[in-house]
Structure 1
Amino acid sequence: MVSSGYTHAHRSGLPNYSNSTAVQEKFGLRQHLPWFISLSLPIPGVRTRRLRLPLPNLQRLYSSSVLRYGRKAGSAILLIGFLFLVFVAFAFAKRFGTRSKKWPRPFIGDPSTLIFEREDLQRIWHWEISSGHYPSQRSIPEQLGFRVPPRNPAIPPRRMPSRGPSGFANVTRGIGSKRSYLEIKPKDRDTAYPPRPVPGSVADLDVVMDHCDFSEKKAQVLRTGAGLDAGNRLRRGGTEARNYIYQEHADTGNPTTSSDFVVDEKPKADGNGANNSGFERPPIALPPPLQHRPYASLSTPCDPDNPRLFHMFWTGPFTDKPYTAILSFLFTQNTGLHLQEPDTSICRPQFWMWINPGPAAAVPNPSAIRDMLGELRKNPWASPFLHPRFKDVIHFKLWNTTEQLDGVPELKDEWRSRDLFNSGGNIIAVPQDKKLNDGDGDEAAATTTKADSDNILNRTGSKSSSTYDRMSVILSDMVRFVLCHRFGGTYLDADTIFLRDWEELWGWKGAFAYRWSRLKRYNTAVLHMNKNSALGTFLFRTALKNDLDFHPMTISRYTQDANLEELLLRLPDALFDSAWLNTENYQRDRPPQPYFTSFEDFFETPLVNSAAPQAMGFDGFFKGAYSYHFHNFWWKPFDPARNWPDLGEKFAVGEQAARNAITKAATSSANVTDTADQDPVDQRDLDWSTVLKRTFEAYIRGERPNMYGEWLQW
């Protein structure tokens, strides 16, 4: 048979170059040269076997390049191939060669984060249920293996099957107080403002989940059920199903004890075991469960086991973002500032603003608290809240990472051996001289002040989209869990404004965050957790064994792997982030109002909707939602024309300082001759951010009441 210029002998299989040239002969020989050759090396101590190492066959490389394409072209091919191999080796070393680099999960899958056995998960569930932290009638996972339905003091008795197809309990057994669902209406006939929530009332988040989930998102349920549509109720009849706020009757006298808990000592092999490779299973040590007490049975308006604390975290100079967040707190929450004397029948919430004065990786110096207060007094955006009128409801606190982590029993003995800046498996390495330790931090602070302030390790705040303070964002992922676990309460990101009283959410004693848009994952921009809870112990022990990763997506994996998702309820984003789905092209057939197609619409309202903010005002801004999360944009001012605290004569000094600073900056940069006393001209239509800021400021100036018709008393 003749092929490619040479023939093969049918019997020997050897080529016969009867009519070939020398080039064709070389080409035929090249086809039989292997790409790799074996190098045989002796194995020390083993005489009968040798180690074979595959090495590239240089003769085959030479013949496939230089002989085939010529000296110049072949040499170029060899050089390009060598450089490609060097590049690949360098890329792999850069990507995976250090501790801070991990293999991307799509290549290896998501390994289980679970470090507890099923008996420990049962104990966690039992502790939370017995403490009244599961006021829900939703199912519990059968994978937990409960033989006896846990007794639940936070829900009333009910009759329903208590076991699933597997034979294990899938619900809790209600032994709690009866509930009375409220139909909230204004008391006065001609009222223009909604009534304050009933003290001690509770939002039934089971009902909220049924009405406001991803597929429905009926925000009007939140409005009508809370009586926020005062004077504007157009819907007639059939509103009972929208009543999601209830009151608990007095204590039933059926306490839950540890004897109610039965551990399945020999769980079946169902894949729910812990992933304990590389370390021993940590013991789960929990205190005795708390006693659930309905509001009606408390001796004081405030429940010591459920403190009403709002936490917020801020790095760098105080700006209009935390300023507006605090103003919205004063405008909506029941602080009692509208009264000459405090009302002892209500529980006043407090706002704790945690300040991290320097870069996220720096250690505060010994005079940090004094320095922080001094800077706040000089800052026009912060100084108003140091007024004695707000001393009982607004508190500035210094964040010290070392002190805070040492205050968490689950972390204090081990956190120093972990990387603190881990977000979703991506670790930012911090040089040794900047790492947090037990020292006073003077050397680290001095090093930081000499470095470039725009370096990722030295940034204090986000001044633009290109200089984003990623370190502080990663630190805040952990901060929220530390604060809620140590002190209790609710954490909110600083890019959040309050839209209504949270009384009913305080009544719901379970832990919650909210949904990451369309995904079944958490967004912890709002996070409520109970003080020193079993859930908190689980999260910290799990995070400790997973490189202290507190990214919301990773938290979702922790709870999912352990069948604890129901203990950290994932609420619909309609409650706290109403525009999110719309900005990602979802639910645009029945969008909430105002209709944002981008988060930037809050600061720069599109012309087609530009008349809406002034015409509708605060009352038309996502009515029914508890808060609004505008997702960063730290560098965009709320009120471009009046970018200063406009709070009236009592705070005129700070306002004048801010106006002078703006005028000085504008004059030096653009040779502007305006003075600070000249009022700027507003644009024709004000944006939503401007309308809300000015509404809150008018309340502080005493020119209008808050959202509930209450006037601030000075």
Structure 2
Amino acid sequence: MNNGILPNHSSAVEEKLHRANTTAASWTRPVMLPIPGVRTRRLRILVPNVGSFQQLRGARVRRSRGPLIVCFACMALFLTVMVVSRNQGRSRQWAENWPPTTGESSTLVFKREDLQRIWKWEIASGHFPSRQTIPKQVGLKTAPLNPAIPHLGRSSKPSRYHSPSEEYDTETYGVGPKRVYLDIQSVYPNVAYPPRPVPGSVADMDIIMKHCNFSAGKYVRDCLEVLRIGGGLDNGRRLRRGNTDDWKYIYREKELNSTEPDFDLSPDTNHGYVPRPALGADTKVDPDAGLNKKRGAEWEAQVALPRPRKYRSSTSLKTPCDSENPRVYHMFWTGPFTDKPYLALLSFLFTQNTGIHMREFPDDSPVCRPQFWMWINPGPAASVPNPTALHDMYAQLKSSPWASPFLHPRFKDVIQFKLWNTTEQLDGIPEIKDEWRSFKTLFNSGGHVIPVPSEKPKESAASASGNETATTGKSGEEEDLLNRTGSKSSSSYDRLSVILSDMARFILCHRFGGIYLDADTIFLRDWEELWGWKGAFAYRWSRLEKYNTAVLHMHKGSALGTFLFRTALKNGLDFHPMSVSLYTADAFIEPLLLRLPDALFDSAWLNTENFQRDRPTQPYFTEFADFFDTPAQNSAAPQALGFDGFFKGAYSYHFHNFWWKPFDPTRNWPDLGPKFKAGEDLARAALEDKETATRKTEAPGSSPADDADKLENDKRDLDWSAVLKRTFEAYIRGERPNMYGEWLEW
């Protein structure tokens, strides 16, 4: 029985197709919907077939089966739509999601027009040397010209195939110089040490992300092998691995021919591209639709940006150093100088191309000589420097056995000590100089605000560190927190200095340009190709898709810096890494501050949080304390492998605080040889009891106790921290070359 309804087919072929697809198509039917603004095409979607449900209802089956099948059909349709929408437009292997933010937690204070101007400024200035996609929420109608990447065919679909949700361009159009990828290897007979990076070389972060991105399931161990081989750090000990061309991540730019056009990259220039007409152009559309403004805040006034920088490849520069990208490392330190900044500076001299292996640095050298600026905050973070602070700072440095070696004339061209003054630094930031004084406190860390009362300096109580103490009226733990200078133990952590350093890194990079590093950082290789990459970056907070700004690279006076300071100002001047992660995510500008894998700078972090322990790195740390106290079962590795066996391939190592833990407990003094004997004796004397120290003061010609250098008093199995310290010191003493086989010339 068919109730008198007979099939109607125009041909036998149509009838066969109907019979073959009856079961599959009976539950849905196609519906053609018009596309607004596109007259020649219609959108075909499948909707539930009501007739099939009616037939199911009248069928001789159990009543409970019909609703169950309908429920499964609806669920399948919903899951299909979710999967398709989730994967739509993901054309990059390492592209991250850009989820919309909630209105309650949003930190956004910039309109879409200003976000677009920031994006265009950074791209035109060459600060986006990547093929990573631009979040579509930015709403760019045309593909910006990108002078930092070479021309390559677009991976996205032509505009005539775009659906309504793909209205905006999410890629840049490369107009930059071509790239020549380098096969870096040691050449016989110089195979004992790796070669220095090629001057002007650049690290391709797209390739690094491809091999190192934790979100894509990449292992730190595999990432370090790529970094090691691609950077030529295996120096003649390369094992056969097949074709490793995909591991070549370092390149040099090939200068453009003079006949090629010089594009105008101003953000307001149309570049000859014709924007696609906006959908629904006849109706009024909110230009900021989809953006979630910070609750209770007003939109920022139109952002004022200078003309974009002119991008210049390293081959087109007249000098090795780019004035727009000064090669300066910044580090911030509070309180007495200890072995922590001491080792950071030693590792800088041991790894970077400072030229101290030559008697005089040649004027025609192709190398851009880096500098290290050590910023000293001489007293408690909440205090105000007195008028003689600079003089007092140098007096302290000269008297410190850990700091005085770096005042030697041999290092004056590469290491500089600078006095930190919070007021002066904040006044040097145009974006906030007229407003920051309205805050009652500058100590805001992730929304946790520490109030600091106004200071009442006492002339008779000038601190020995060059700062005048604050009369706070507080006592006990609060008073101790306000007057700490450095962290002496885990229970007396100098939290205010840590919060101040969170802000200082952004100030220094925005004012002067360069790379900021936390003081608990040790260099492990030359950073030449990192300087060559012109984008801004920090690195990943372990397993979380958040920033850790222990390493931070930004450009002087950049649009990104303007955005960050204005956003921070409207959010309590909070520069905690988690807060900065919110600022960039809410505004959809995360790609402009690239979040590099922590394998490059913090290779042990995932292992210490119980990740990737099935294939751990070398060395294998289950907690950061293992660096200072290597477990007995692994205690043969530090001396057997030495510096070359310590996270080989990574650019640096971050040991995460432990300011109170000495690197080398049995030789806890600067062991730099006869040139710095006075400082060594002073440090040794400080370790002895007061009676011994008094006796040495009365007899200055006496030497430290003879048993200090007895072998039986040394630790038999040296820890990693001690091995690295003694390795760097041996280079300064002239007993070994640096990691590239260069001997220090005095």
Q: Where on the TM-score scale, by shorter chain, does this alignment land: which range? A: 0.7 to 0.9
Specify the SS of the correspondent of 1:312: strand
Deviation string 1:481-529 (CA, Å, 9 cap, x unpaired) is 0000000000000000000000000000100000000000000000000
Q: TM-score, normalised by structure 2?
A: 0.77
| 2:552 counterpart residue number | 527
**Counterpart selection for 2:634 from 605, 609, 612:** 609
Alpha-carbon distance between aligned partners in 2 of 1:675 and 1:348, rounded to the nearest angstrom: 39
**CA distance change for structure 1 residues 405 and 269 in 2, over 3 Å: closer, same or farther?**
closer
| Aligned positions of 1:373-392 closer than 5 A | 373-392=394-413
| Aligned positions of 1:434-445 closer than 5 A | 445=469
**Counterpart selection for 1:410 from 416, 422, 431:** 431
| Aligned positions of 1:73-222 closer than 5 A | 110-162=104-156, 165-214=165-214, 215-217=217-219, 218=222, 219-222=224-227
Q: Is the aligned partner of 1:260 residue 2:269? A: yes
| Aligned positions of 1:532-547 closer than 5 A | 532-547=557-572
| 1:363 counterpart residue number | 384
Alpha-carbon distance between aligned partners in 1 of 2:613 and 2:126, rounded to the nearest angstrom: 38
Tell me, yes or no, if the aligned pair for 2:111 and 2:299 is still in contact at 8 Å.
Answer: no
| 2:8 counterpart residue number | none
| Aligned positions of 1:272-671 closer than 5 A | 272=291, 274-275=293-294, 277-279=296-298, 281-343=300-362, 344-418=365-439, 419-433=441-455, 445=469, 447=471, 455-664=480-689
| Aligned positions of 1:60-71 closer than 5 A | none
Q: Which amino acid aligns with 1:250?
A: E
Tell me, yes or no, if the aligned pair for 1:448 and 1:458 is still in contact at 8 Å.
Answer: no
Q: Which amino acid aligns with 1:421?
A: F
**CA distance change for structure 1 residues 253 and 591 in 2, over 3 Å: closer, same or farther?**
farther
Alpha-carbon distance between aligned partners in 1 of 2:134 and 2:735, rounded to the nearest angstrom: 51
| 1:62 counterpart residue number | none
Tell me, yes or no, if the aligned pair for 1:331 and 1:696 is still in contact at 8 Å.
Answer: yes
Q: Is the aligned partner of 1:678 residue 2:703? A: no
Tell me, yes or no, if the aligned pair for 1:115 and 1:276 is still in contact at 8 Å.
Answer: no
Deviation string 1:24-59 (CA, Å, 9 cap, x unpaired) is xxxxxxxxxxxxxxxxxxxxxxxxxxxxxxxxxxxx
Q: TM-score, normalised by structure 1?
A: 0.81
Alpha-carbon shift at residue 270 of structure 1 (Å): 3.6
Where in structure 1 do 4 or more consecutive aligned residues deviate above 4 Å?
A: 161-165, 261-269, 440-444, 448-454, 665-669
Alpha-carbon shift at residue 275 of structure 1 (Å): 3.1
Tell me, yes or no, if the aligned pair for 2:124 and 2:308 is still in contact at 8 Å.
Answer: yes
Specify the SS of the correspondent of 1:526: strand
Q: Is the aligned partner of 1:713 residue 2:745? A: yes
Tell me, yes or no, if the aligned pair for 1:201 and 1:247 is still in contact at 8 Å.
Answer: yes
Tell me, yes or no, if the aligned pair for 1:522 and 1:570 is still in contact at 8 Å.
Answer: yes
Specify the SS of the correspondent of 1:283: coil
Alpha-carbon shift at residue 621 of structure 1 (Å): 0.2
> Paired residues, what number?
600
Alpha-carbon distance between aligned partners in 1 of 2:526 and 2:472, rounded to the nearest angstrom: 42
Tell me, yes or no, if the aligned pair for 2:380 and 2:467 is still in contact at 8 Å.
Answer: no
Alpha-carbon shift at residue 254 of structure 1 (Å): 2.8
Alpha-carbon distance between aligned partners in 1 of 2:397 and 2:569, rounded to the nearest angstrom: 35
Alpha-carbon shift at residue 444 of structure 1 (Å): 5.2
Alpha-carbon distance between aligned partners in 1 of 2:473 and 2:672, rounded to the nearest angstrom: 34
Unmatched 5+ residue regions in structure 2? 1-101, 279-283, 695-702
| 1:39 counterpart residue number | none
Q: Which amino acid aligns with 1:216?
A: K
**CA distance change for structure 1 residues 384 and 668 in 2, over 3 Å: closer, same or farther?**
closer
Alpha-carbon shift at residue 227 of structure 1 (Å): 0.2
Deviation string 1:420-447 (CA, Å, 9 cap, x unpaired) is 0000000000012269xxxx99995363
Deviation string 1:631-665 (CA, Å, 9 cap, x unpaired) is 00000000000000000000001001111111135
Deviation string 1:65-112 (CA, Å, 9 cap, x unpaired) is xxxxxxxxxxxxxxxxxxxxxxxxxxxxxxxxxxxxxxxxxxx98521
Alpha-carbon shift at residue 589 of structure 1 (Å): 1.3
Tell me, yes or no, if the aligned pair for 2:618 and 2:647 is still in contact at 8 Å.
Answer: yes
Computed over aligned residues only, the root mean square deviation of the Cα atoms, in angstroms, reads: 2.5
Q: Which amino acid aligns with 2:241?
A: R
Specify the SS of the correspondent of 2:688: helix
In percent, how many aligned pairs have the same letter? 66
Alpha-carbon distance between aligned partners in 1 of 2:378 and 2:473, rounded to the nearest angstrom: 13
My pick for the range that moved more, 212-221 or 120-129, is 212-221
**CA distance change for structure 1 residues 189 and 434 in 2, over 3 Å: closer, same or farther?**
farther
Tell me, yes or no, if the aligned pair for 2:628 and 2:719 is still in contact at 8 Å.
Answer: yes
**CA distance change for structure 1 residues 619 and 665 in 2, over 3 Å: closer, same or farther?**
farther
**CA distance change for structure 1 residues 387 and 409 in 2, over 3 Å: closer, same or farther?**
same
Deviation string 1:264-307 (CA, Å, 9 cap, x unpaired) is 99655542153373445233111100000000000000000000
Rg larger for: 1
Alpha-carbon distance between aligned partners in 1 of 2:475 and 2:396, rounded to the nearest angstrom: 22
| 1:99 counterpart residue number | none
My pick for the range that moved more, 414-423 or 496-505, is 414-423
Alpha-carbon distance between aligned partners in 2 of 1:323 and 1:335, rounded to the nearest angstrom: 17
| 1:76 counterpart residue number | none
Tell me, yes or no, if the aligned pair for 2:454 and 2:472 is still in contact at 8 Å.
Answer: no
Specify the SS of the correspondent of 2:401: coil
Specify the SS of the correspondent of 2:376: strand
Tell me, yes or no, if the aligned pair for 2:538 and 2:551 is still in contact at 8 Å.
Answer: yes
Alpha-carbon distance between aligned partners in 2 of 1:261 and 1:489, rounded to the nearest angstrom: 32
Q: Which amino acid aligns with 2:301?
A: P
Alpha-carbon shift at residue 590 of structure 1 (Å): 1.4
Q: Which amino acid aligns with 2:708?
A: D
Deviation string 1:666-698 (CA, Å, 9 cap, x unpaired) is 9699xxxx9544325211100000000000000
Deviation string 1:578-600 (CA, Å, 9 cap, x unpaired) is 00000000011111110000100
Unmatched 5+ residue regions in structure 1? 1-107
Deviation string 1:178-235 (CA, Å, 9 cap, x unpaired) is 0000010112335210000000000001100010111213210000000000121013
Alpha-carbon distance between aligned partners in 2 of 1:601 and 1:347, rounded to the nearest angstrom: 36
**CA distance change for structure 1 residues 109 and 688 in 2, over 3 Å: closer, same or farther?**
farther
Specify the SS of the correspondent of 2:385: coil
Alpha-carbon distance between aligned partners in 2 of 1:261 and 1:416, rounded to the nearest angstrom: 41
